[in-house]
Structure 1
Amino acid sequence: MPEAALSLAFEDGLTLSLFHNFHDLEDVWRSFESAALCTTFQNFDWLSNWFSHAGRHSNWTPCLVHGAASNGSTLFILPLGYYALGGLRILSWLGDSHSTYRMGLFDRQWIARQNPDKLHRLLRRVRSLLPPIDVVRLSDQPSSWEKTPNPFAAISALPTASYSHAIKLQDDFEALYASKRTASTIKKARKRERTFNRRYPLSFHTVSDTAELAPVMDELIRQKSVRLRDMGVHDFFADPGVRGFFKTLALNGLNGGSHQLRIYYMKAGDHIAATWMGLVHRGRICGLMNTMTDHPDIRRYSPGEVVLRYAISECCKDGLEVFDLAVGESRYKSEWCDQHLTLFETILPVTMKGHIYVHATRLGLRIKRLIKQSRKLWPLLQKTRCKCMATLKTLSLV
């Protein structure tokens, strides 16, 4: 093991070591992640690149906690960090909102030996290793992964406002498609696609080299930024380092890196009409984002639905097992998905001012969950927000 910033050994044989530098733990991390219980968003390449490009600019401080057994074998790695918010120090999983799923990396046999009391004791021990903090806030944690319960679900789990959605893939895309739609719906969709193709000759692509990547990535980012602003949602691509983070991951994937980032896209004539981007990990492709052109005539043919069908069909051909459409409520997700995964948050106060933050945050999360899971309130809020943004855009042009 490399030298840690701080290590603590306990009477039950557990040794906790704290690292602030990713590269000090790189060899151990890469070796452990190949068999550990974790998602693609806990891989070394994902988190180290995120911190180098985006996290550093947002004033995150990494607190990487390595847990070892008495024989030195790795039991877990907790990719934690803290940031300042309104005078508070908040401890959270690294990766921020760019990571769909956030959790630790765990030895599967170690998980089987845990219980709520042991996990609460572990969290107290971890806190004793860290600099002073006010709040522990661990967001976007899957309740289980690869049919194994997430051990942190035993620590004050608060359900999040949204679920994640996924499709169990088949080798035969046509059979899968037929199981999700009626024959008449499929017939109408294909007729609309033929009409689309007559007006704008369609072509379907998967990014395969660096020359192809640059223009597609630039247009993907532009389309996503426009859409987020139109929805009245924060444009994360405007944050320092975020563009570089995604571009670096895409380049690394093409150059044989550990992350298989795939970008599927459709062209309508010379226009990139729609894109879909995801990460492949252990037979599962996790969606990162999808985009669609702001060209009004092309949009009326629903290019996002067309490129999604292409992406799913390609993943079926490649023998992938699960197509993960990530978190959030959308009609197309309910039409396609047959798997749903609950997520939870762990929010714990450490100091008195942390208690105030936690009380307000828990109340806000309950209200958010109520709105998002309402069939009336959530669509109404989305519609109202888009109208407000359209009005503001019109006023800015006057």
Structure 2
Amino acid sequence: MQAQKVQTQKLDVAGMAVAAATHRDTASTASARSVAGAGIRVEIFDSMAPLEAEWRALEQDDLASLHQSYDWCTAWTETFRHPLAIVHGSFNGRTAFILPLEIIRTQGVRRAEFIGTRHSNINTGLFSAEYLETADNVLSASQQAEIAQALRGKADLMVLRNVPLDWRGRESPLASMPAVENQNHAFQLPFLGTFEATLKQVNAKRRRKKFKHQTRILNEKGGYEYVIAAPDQRDTLLDLFFRQKAVRFETAGLPDVFHDAPTQTALHRLLALRDDGQSYAALEMHALRLKGEHEGHIPAVAALSRKSDHVICQFASIDEALVPEASPGELLFWLMIERLHREGVALFDFGIGDQGYKRSWCPMETTQHDLILPISRIGHMAAFAQRGVTRAKTAIKANPRLYGFIQRLRARQGGSDASAEEAEKD
């Protein structure tokens, strides 16, 4: 997907009646301001509970990111306990949008970011159908200014990371905000009418040949089974992922972003979040388990999230101690994709981070942006620095030779000559 130019547009809602101010039970924990002449009322809440009903209604939109769902955000907020600044916009007394933000302080700068953004693959915010159907359906300059004013004293700048300006045919209402291209793109495999048609997007003949080669190697060693973790297996598989990934990070000379206890706790909490059907699963563990001479060994693990017809591979790991020649991680992806194709999924998302195995599976590449709204004087300086760092990273990643050199340097500093392909997004 090609990057789009960001243009500032205004939402003409002057004809909408300004909603009458009403008293909420939580008024003491929310600051409210009205957008003069625009009909939008902006409130900042420091807790999630008062907005639960409206929040759960907005997240039903199929194109709203799972990472902004109420349950997903609850798992992170109750674990990390960062101060919250939930942006709530309404007109005529009806919810127009919710931006679930938390305040992260780094180097003396307070950033209002999407909750749990460090471990999210796509962020969209939450918008009502009524708001999306308005003439321009974007945040106007006056509304952005009002959000900044409402956040004053709570944050120095608002940074919304990993936002696609266009997602599955819909322009983001956030596309009018000042933006810089994120250094990491995301990669997707659209599902077509049949599994064979889907494979033809990525060279079906080569894919099937590789699959047969992988299965022949493993069958000669006693076989394998594809595991979708039952409730009593989920935590064990997630812990195995943490161990496997720690080894991979160390080998690649990269910091382990899953190492800290709060992150692991939040991810364990997500395992229990799912509906009774197949339309929502916050985190579902999948694995390849060997039989025969390597009975019980698990050489590949992956965690999937599902919201409606969109499935995201949140993370995956491999153990090359045994059968590396069978490419167990690639085989696990085949098995997951083949199964999901039968279950009404429309898009399999490999998430952000440019890696060879993703490109081999994905005909679709999505450019994401970081949206930056300065609030305080310090925030203006931090925003300038933020844009500079992000643009530098983007330029480096656009230069394969330079990026490869830096990754090899990282690996050597980590005490290994691991290839750049093993490095994760940064």
With normalisation by structure 2, the TM-score equals 0.83
Q: Distance in 2 between matches of 1:195 and 1:378?
A: 34
What letter is aligned with 2:140? L
Q: 1:167 offset after TM fit, Å?
A: 0.6
Counterpart of 2:91 in structure 1 is: 69
What letter is aligned with 2:251? D
Q: Aligned runs of 1:128-277 on 2, under 5 Å?
A: 128-132=149-153, 133-181=155-203, 183=205, 186-207=208-229, 209-253=230-274, 259-268=281-290, 269-277=295-303
**SS of residue in 2 equivalent to 1:203:** strand
Q: Distance in 1 between matches of 2:281 and 2:123?
A: 17
Q: Aligned runs of 1:1-398 on 2, under 5 Å?
A: 2-4=25-27, 5-11=30-36, 12-35=38-61, 37-53=63-79, 55-56=80-81, 60-70=82-92, 72-113=93-134, 119-132=140-153, 133-181=155-203, 183=205, 186-207=208-229, 209-253=230-274, 259-268=281-290, 269-295=295-321, 297-391=322-416
- Identify the range of structure 1 (21-30 vs 373-382) with the bigger mean alpha-carbon deviation: 373-382
**SS of residue in 1 equivalent to 2:122:** coil
Does the 8 A contact of 2:149 with 2:375 survive in 1?
no
Judged with a 3 Å threshold, the aligned counterparts in structure 2 of structure 1 residues 241 and 200 are, in CA distance, closer, same or farther, namely farther
1:193-248 deviations in Å (ceiling 9; x for gaps): 312321252111112x2222232122122112222232222212222311111111
Q: 1:36 offset after TM fit, Å?
A: 7.4
Q: 1:254 offset after TM fit, Å?
A: 7.8
**SS of residue in 2 equivalent to 1:123:** helix
What letter is aligned with 2:157? V
Counterpart of 2:11 in structure 1 is: none
Q: Distance in 1 between matches of 2:371 and 2:381?
A: 16
Q: 1:125 offset after TM fit, Å?
A: 0.9
Judged with a 3 Å threshold, the aligned counterparts in structure 2 of structure 1 residues 301 and 386 are, in CA distance, closer, same or farther, namely farther
- Identify the range of structure 1 (32-41 vs 360-369) with the bigger mean alpha-carbon deviation: 32-41
The structure with more helix, counted as a fraction of residues: 1
Q: Distance in 2 between matches of 1:118 and 1:195?
A: 55
1:299-358 deviations in Å (ceiling 9; x for gaps): 232111110111111111112110001111111221211222211112243333333322
Does the 8 A contact of 2:89 with 2:96 survive in 1?
yes
Does the 8 A contact of 1:115 with 1:154 survive in 2?
no
Q: Distance in 1 between matches of 2:99 and 2:207?
A: 47
Q: Distance in 1 between matches of 2:365 and 2:176?
A: 20
Counterpart of 1:396 in structure 2 is: none
What letter is aligned with 1:48? T
Judged with a 3 Å threshold, the aligned counterparts in structure 2 of structure 1 residues 354 and 320 are, in CA distance, closer, same or farther, namely same
Q: 1:123 offset after TM fit, Å?
A: 1.7
1:168-194 deviations in Å (ceiling 9; x for gaps): 113532443354226356324412431
Does the 8 A contact of 1:47 with 1:95 survive in 2?
yes
Q: Distance in 2 between matches of 1:364 and 1:77?
A: 28
